[in-house]
Each structure stands twice: as C-alpha cells, then as structure tokens.
Amino acid sequence: MKVWRTPLIALVALLFVAFALLWFLPARWAMPWLESRLGGVQLQDVSGLVWDGKAAHVLSAKGEDLGALQWQLSRFALLGDNRLHVELHGPRVDFAGRMTGGKATDATWTDVQMRIDLGVLGSGPVVLGGWPRGTLRVTAGRIELQGGWPWTLDARVQWDDAVLLLPQQGNLLLGGQRADLRATNGVIEGHVQDDGKGPLRVDGRLQLSPLARRFMAVVAPRHRDPMLERWLAGFGSVDTDGVTHINYSGGLAAAIHGEKR
C-alpha cells in the first residue's frame, strides 16, 4: 500500500495544478489557439482570464480596427456546456448577445443587438445586383441554430440609409427598409416594408428554408427615378401605374416542383 501512496499523491497534486491552471488561465495564453480559428481576425491588447477577458482591439482580416471586445465564458464549458456573453463595441460595429450550446453551429443566442456599417464588408457579397451600403441593425430575442441555420427565430432587421452600389452605374438609393422575421422548425417567414420616407416603396412577404426561397412583393418608386425604375424592372412585371409585382421562388424545392410540372 505504501508503494502506491507516493505516486497517488503525485497524481492528485498534478491534477490539482492542472485544474488551477485552467481555472485561472490568462486569456493571452489561449490567443494562438483561438486566433487560428478566427479566419484572420486578430485580438490585440488582451487581458483578463479565458473565462472573463477583454481585447482592446479586434482587427479584421483586412487590418481594420472593429472595436473593443469583452466576454464572459462559463467554466462549465470544460464539460461541453458553453455559456457565453460577448460584447463588441466600435465606431462601425456593435454586437452584444448571449450564447448557450455545445458548439457555435448548434447554439441558442438570446438578447442579440447588432449594428454594422455594411461598408465593413468591402466588395462582397453581391446582394440584389450590387454591394449593399448603409447601416444594418438586428434585434433578436432568440435565435436557435441547428447546423448553422435558424431553427427558431424572433428578430427585427432594419436597413437604414440603404444603398446599393451597382457596377458601372453608381449608388442606387433605397431609403430605410425593415423586416420582422419569425422562424419555426427551420422555416423563416417575414414581412418586409419601407419606413415610408425613402425613394422606394416596398410591401412584401418572404419565406426561407434550407431548401426553398420565396418572395412576393409590390414595389414602386415614390418619385420619378429612371435608375431605380430600370433596376426594379429586372425583378418582375410593371403595371400601368409603375408598380413592380415580384413573385420569386427558388431553391431545390422550387426546382423539383418545376420539374414535376
């Protein structure tokens, strides 16, 4: 019995030291492991612990300073139960939210508040034939992800001072746009409309799922605008009053339905 006592004490002591290191692990020690998973994003002037830390500067892959980051991560993450509160505040980006779940693609976000200057996205992605500019704001009480897709959702999206930068044409002004989105069992439904003040009048409904997309709307310029009229004509038929009627269906489900027809 005495033969095993010394190795047992040494093992217990080693486990205790390892536990203490994890419990009080400085955040900067984990940066090489973390940044390798951030797709080129870098954290600078990191302080605090892995479980309660700060970064004075978050640099995008292009080197732009996005702001200061603060996070709190539950130590139950060691057992696979991630509970994260994160806040990012900068002149062009604001984000705050709480995440629970085993991994990022299968997690639940609550109390989400986001503001982003779409110019941060640079030359991509292309949306509606151009590069979006303006300010996007998202408020979500709950977003439950499964495989990275919103399985349940309760959110409001606002696109303030909306602009599309069209290739070889310049800026297309769209005004303020907003959408109320709900999702159940992976099907997102929402009402899209303008704020009543800008150059584009919109009233539509959308439906999104991993297999299908549908958007039905009536859209029209509030005032005579040849550039806006040409752009709208590419999305649907235009009646005698200058109103564009959009009836779009796409995705795998729509393709299969079309083949059957």
Tens digits of per-residue pLDDT, 131-184? 999 999 999 999 999 999 999 999 999 999 999 999 888 899 999 999 999 999
For the chain, domain boundaries: 92-260
Q: What is the pLDDT of residue 20?
A: 53
Tens digits of per-residue pLDDT, 60-81? 888 889 999 999 988 777 666 7
Confidence of residue 88 (pLDDT cuts 50, 70, 90): very high
SS3 for the chain is CHHHHHHHHHHHHHHHHHHHHHHCCEHHHHHHHHHCCCCCCEEEEEEEECCEEEEEEEECCCCCEEEEEEEEECHHHHHCCEEEEEEEECCCEEEEEEEEEEECCEEEEEEEEEEEEHHHHCCCCCECCEEEEEEEEEEEEEEEEECCEEEEEEEEEEEEEEEEEECCCEEEEEEEEEEEEEEECCEEEEEEEECCCCCEEEEEEEEECCCCEEEEEEEEECCCCHHHHHHHHCCCEECCCCCEEEEEEECHHHHHHHHHC
